[in-house]
Structure 1
Amino acid sequence: MGARMAQRLVAAGRAVTVWNRTPREIPGAATASSPAEAVAGADVVVTMLSDPDAVLEVVRAALPGLRPGTTLIEMSTIGPDAVVRVRALLPAGVALVDAPVLGSVQPAAEGTLQILAGGSPEDLDRVEDVLAVFGRVRRVGGPGAGAAMKLAVMSALVPAQVMLAENLAYAAALGVDRAAYLDVLATTPLGPLVERLRPVVESGPPETRYALGLAAKDLRLATEHPGRMQTIAAAARDRLTAASAAGLADRDLTAIIGAVGGSGPGTPVLKINPPSVPPTNGRYCHAVRYGDLLFVSGQVALDENGEVVGPGDMTRQSEYVMENLGRILADQGSSYDRILHIRTFLTDMDRLPEYAAVRARHIPKDPPASTTVEVPRLFRPGLLIEVEVMAAVS
């Protein structure tokens, strides 16, 4: 977004200096080595960053280069509280306009963004021509009003997309044809949103325009205050946060259809290594998720240093293995009672009762499909048991 907006300014004939946390060059713009160097001598400074922490960090770094008379236009989605914190950092002679945008990468390149501008009338007058380079400027109120409007709008738009993802899964469970379902929805007031999602259902998520991880961040900002009742937005936030943790943070928001809606052409194959269990040796991953199915690799009693836990102790090793399985399942929103199949390898079938007693404590009733076999040895001397599972993800 920021790069394309800088290109718009260059094309408009502005003298532009850029700085990016990941160094990159913009044709026609000077490249600074630091935020302070980038803002030195500037009449207008524009920030477009990922979250409040990033904005505050960059503004602090830019302070030595800011001079009285400069106007900072903060265009990230950070919420009104963070705008107040940015204002507190700025010298008295530096003005602040908060102007987050509606639109993604392509509108940024075309100059067709919607700019939700908040600030004093004098400050907005001063930067109106700069903002107009990016798209249509809508003045929504005083300082902080732009940031507040953006969160309010995203609190409606993002949960609507998550809701449609869940409803696609629901329709499929009822045996409803997906294409026909979308055709019917397209005739309702949801039509424009349905048309945005239709290509995802038919051929998979597109190039990232609005990252799923950023959508989760936006809803966290919108729901972080207990006094602001946002129960539906909070539920969508949790869905997106789980999808981000599962590896979809950099995918387009529309990838939530694959994460929520089961398997299909757009469903990603996610390789999962939760930090709650010891790492693998790098030659495999702890689990693979495809839609609503989770395949968990064989778990053994090895600690974070690769040492055998409880050598010769079947009960101790069984407990360790079951605990790790539980952590991996929980990481993906599943649990012991959603295991579909469990496969166990024992080096001594005579010790099955010891393992069975441990397993019964974790899976006490309605057991899943199960296979248990005896093997002459496992891959590390001292290991007595290995357990793998396939589970459903709620």
Structure 2
Amino acid sequence: MIAFIGQGRMGVPMARRLIEAEHTIGHKVTTWRRGTGVTVAEAVAGAELVITMLRDPAAVREVLTAALPGLRPDATVVEMSTIGPDAIGELRALLPASVRLVDAPVLGSVAPAADGTLTVLAGGDLAGLGDVLSVFGTVRECGPLGAGAAMKIAVMSALVPAQVLIAETYAYGEAHGVDRDALADVLSGTPLGVLAERLRTPAPETRYALGLAAKDLALAAWPDATLAAAGRKRLQEAEAAGLGDQDVTAIAAHVGGRPAHRAVPVNPATVPATNGFYSHAVRVGDMLYVSGQAAFDSRGEVVGAGDMTVQAEHVFQCLARILADQGAGFEDVVFVRTYLTNMDDRVAYGQVRRKYFPGTPPASTTVEVSKLFMPGLLLEVDAIVALP
């Protein structure tokens, strides 16, 4: 049995192709997504092969952690999301040694996913997986575990900034009286022609979401990646302007010589949504200001009522996802502030906190308050972060 985890824009057509190929590949296929009433551990129980296609590293870690009780000791996990090689290393440490892990992110968008013409960039031991992976398209063996994830980020660190460059090129042309179509025609005769044509008119349907492009460039962050960093900043500004779910080609309409936003809201989909009156975090330059995080779930219900340990774990997991969304970690936190409804809970809270700050701790303040914004909450934590 194959368990396909993730039913997003790419996951749906990929899972459909697997289901249609059941007789060819010799496996029954089941699918799982959040909110179905079935736990992910139940969904993977008995599956020889588990495929994940999720939004980001935090989502993959969360789902596979929850799946552990149901994983067969001899299962194979094929991770097809775009999460980068560092996250693959973390997954290898998370999964039992007896579980084989393969990284196999894909190049291509929704239409190739439906047609089975994706390029699968695979890393690790692919023995016995050829028939399954070829359902999605052409399989390219990249090397040992993590090589496929590294190849995907390397490719995107060129393709995505190039699209931002074209958007800025069109904006420059318009500011100087150059007709966009004429400019696109001239660019069509250069190596940038394909991208220029793609951005000439933003796509009406979302093939590759702008918000995902911003996420992919965040994964590509490294000290010398100046163009990738500039492209990511542009995309995050467009995402903050409400374009995150539109196709990445929407960047061409967004860029028009306007001053860059100084404050960019950050609201990862992996963190329970806000009530609309605040953002989970706001980035200003290389600083990130994180709003108070508390233990409530996507339904707005308190998690771990009366249990400081459970609530603290939930809060720090939310912080971890926000940090990961910006390419940061707890080592980048420079200040943390904690509000406790009972100072006697500080010992239990401190035990959890030390797990996330094992080294030199950040500057911090801890205060006792009479109550928090929801009955049953025991703590709230906010932070200031120096982004890498």
Q: What is the deviation of 1:242?
A: 1.1
- Partners of 1:79 and 1:218 lie apart in 2 by 8
- Partners of 2:145 and 2:15 lie apart in 1 by 24
Residue aligning to 1:20: 33
For the pair 1:214 / 2:212, whether they are aligned, the reply is yes
Residue aligning to 2:107: 102
Match of 1:258 among 231, 235, 253: 253
Q: What is the deviation of 1:273?
A: 11
Paired letter, 1:118: G
Q: What is the deviation of 1:177?
A: 0.9
Identical-residue share of aligned pairs (%): 65
Residue aligning to 2:123: 118
- Partners of 1:108 and 1:255 lie apart in 2 by 21
What is the SS of the residue equivalent to 1:96?
Answer: strand
**Root-mean-square deviation (Å):** 2.2
Q: What is the deviation of 1:68?
A: 2.0
For the pair 1:2 / 2:38, whether they are aligned, the reply is no
Superimposed CA distance per residue, residues 155-198 of structure 1 (whole angstroms, 9 cap, x where no aligned partner): 00000000000000001111111111001101111122122222
- Partners of 1:72 and 1:274 lie apart in 2 by 34
- Partners of 1:273 and 1:161 lie apart in 2 by 21
Superimposed CA distance per residue, residues 247-295 of structure 1 (whole angstroms, 9 cap, x where no aligned partner): 11111101101110369xxxxxxxx9979xxxxxx9xxxxxxxxxxxxx
Residue aligning to 2:97: 92
Residue aligning to 2:40: 35
Paired letter, 1:60: T
- Partners of 2:265 and 2:15 lie apart in 1 by 38
Residue aligning to 1:47: 52
Residue aligning to 2:241: 246
Superimposed CA distance per residue, residues 344-376 of structure 1 (whole angstroms, 9 cap, x where no aligned partner): xxxxxxxxxxxxxxxxxxxxxxxxxxxxxxxxx
- Partners of 1:74 and 1:274 lie apart in 2 by 29
Distance 1:273-1:220 versus aligned 2 partners, 3 A rule: closer
Match of 2:77 among 72, 79, 96: 72
- Partners of 2:109 and 2:247 lie apart in 1 by 11
Please tell me whether the aligned partners of residues 213 and 249 of structure 1 are also in contact (alpha carbons under 8 angstroms).
yes
TM-score by length of 2: 0.62
Please tell me whether the aligned partners of residues 67 and 93 of structure 1 are also in contact (alpha carbons under 8 angstroms).
no
Structure 1's consecutive aligned runs of 4 or more residues displaced over 4 angstroms after TM superposition are 272-275
Superimposed CA distance per residue, residues 49-72 of structure 1 (whole angstroms, 9 cap, x where no aligned partner): 000000000000110111122110
Residue aligning to 2:197: 195
Residue aligning to 1:356: none
Residue aligning to 1:360: none
What is the SS of the residue equivalent to 2:220?
Answer: helix
- Partners of 1:274 and 1:49 lie apart in 2 by 22
- Partners of 1:134 and 1:110 lie apart in 2 by 8
Distance 1:243-1:85 versus aligned 2 partners, 3 A rule: same
Gaps of 5+ in 1: 24-31, 264-271, 276-281, 283-394
Distance 1:257-1:141 versus aligned 2 partners, 3 A rule: same
Gaps of 5+ in 2: 1-9, 267-275, 277-388
Please tell me whether the aligned partners of residues 46 and 73 of structure 1 are also in contact (alpha carbons under 8 angstroms).
yes
- Partners of 1:64 and 1:163 lie apart in 2 by 46
- Partners of 2:16 and 2:110 lie apart in 1 by 12
- Partners of 1:274 and 1:216 lie apart in 2 by 13
- Partners of 1:108 and 1:273 lie apart in 2 by 32
Q: What is the deviation of 1:124?
A: 0.5
TM-score by length of 1: 0.61
Please tell me whether the aligned partners of residues 237 and 264 of structure 2 are also in contact (alpha carbons under 8 angstroms).
no
What is the SS of the residue equivalent to 1:232?
Answer: helix
Residue aligning to 2:382: none
Superimposed CA distance per residue, residues 282-322 of structure 1 (whole angstroms, 9 cap, x where no aligned partner): 9xxxxxxxxxxxxxxxxxxxxxxxxxxxxxxxxxxxxxxxx
Q: What is the deviation of 1:199?
A: 3.0
Match of 1:58 among 63, 72, 78: 63
Residue aligning to 1:286: none
- Partners of 2:122 and 2:177 lie apart in 1 by 46
Match of 2:87 among 58, 82, 89: 82
Residue aligning to 1:153: 155
